Structures are given as structure tokens and as C-alpha cells.
Amino acid sequence: MMRLIVVSLIVIALASGCSNANHGASPSPNNNNQKVRVQQTIPPKPEINNAENENVAQRLEKLATSVPHVIDANCVVIGDTAIVGINVDGNLERARVGTIKYSVAEALREDPVGIHAIVTADMDIGNRLREIRTDINNGRPVSGFAQELADIFGRIIPQFPKDVEPLQENQDGQPAPSPQLNDDRKQLKNRSL
């Protein structure tokens, strides 16, 4: 009889202990459901005056040439934007050139102006940047290179669909060309004459 009472008490104790079990997630030391929001931002572009352009260009060129396999670098600074053209061995594979270009971008990231720089390994653009840089060093104003720099930007920076304005329709329901397109067509027509 005593044995039956002891076994009954053990069964009751086990049954009552299991009914209080937490069937949710296992307890953790930090279970307060607080969320942390991290905002990753790039610092704003610093203002660069024209007197500093030469120093900034030299500093970015030095950073770029510090990367292995970069033979030469040319930098042109206009306003708050810098374009860095790197010269690498022409026999390197395209993937290797991309890796070197990425390494240059990483090196420039440490500079407050370099973080916003545009890096290119295109030989044609690099040569054009070298010529512009030489002309700037010889005293020619940057404003004289505005169209050429716009062409360089156009080659480097792609056209994003979000930047394209929808076509306007004329009275006939046909798409009306934009004023810029009309100007471009006139310039092309004048060149061909």
C-alpha cells in the first residue's frame, strides 16, 4: 500500500510538472524583442573650391597608384566630383582589370573626396583625362573642357530608366520629341553640312 502511494505521488508530481512547461521558444538571455535599426549612409560630398582641385587630384592619383599593378593614374576634379582614370598593363585579362579597379575604389574610399570619385580603367578615357590634366596644369580653365568632360561622364555613367522622362504626345497622338532631342538633331544636321 505504501508503495502504491509513493508511485502515485511521483506520477502526480511528474504530470503536474509537465503541464507548466513552456511550449514556446527556448528562453534566451536577451529575449526582450528590441530591434536595432542601422542606417548605412555615405557621407555627403564635401565642397571643394577651385584652388584645392590640384591638391585633391594629386592626392587621389597617389592613392590610386599605391594599388599594385596600377602603372599610372590621372585625376580631374570638377566641382565636387572627381574622375580617376587608371592605367594598367594592357595584357591583363578583363576580370583582373576589374579586380584592380575595385581595389583602387577601395583605396579611394578612405578619402573624403575619393569616396565619391568615379574610377575607370578604360584606356581611351584615361588618355583623355591625361590630356585634360596636362592642359589644366598648363593653365587652361576647366570650363573649356566642359563638353569633353560631359562626354566622358556619358561614357562612364549609364542611362538609368528612372531618369528617362515619358514621351509627350502631340495633337496627332504621335510622340513629340523632347526639346533636348530636337537640339541634338539640329547639331547633328549642322555637323553633316
∠ CA 19-25-26, rounded to 5°: 85
Q: Considering the domain 50-146 in this protein, what is its CATH number?
A: 3.30.70.1350
Higher pLDDT: 54 or 190? It is: 54
List the chain domain ranges. Answer: 50-146
**Backbone dihedral angles phi then psi of residue 74, each to the nearest 5 degrees:** -130, 135
Round the average pLDDT of the chain to a whole number and report it.
75
Over range 51-73, report the average pLDDT: 89
pTM: 0.57
Reported in sequence order, the residue ranges of the chain that DSSP labels E, i.e. its strands, are 70-78, 81-88, 118-120, 168-169, 175-176
What pLDDT score was predicted for residue 133? 86
Is the dihedral angle over the CA atoms 62, 64, 65, 67 positive or is it negative?
positive
Q: Do 84 and 125 form a contact (C-beta atoms < 8 A)?
A: no
pLDDT of 66 above 90: yes
Cβ atoms 46, 53 nearer than 8 A:
no
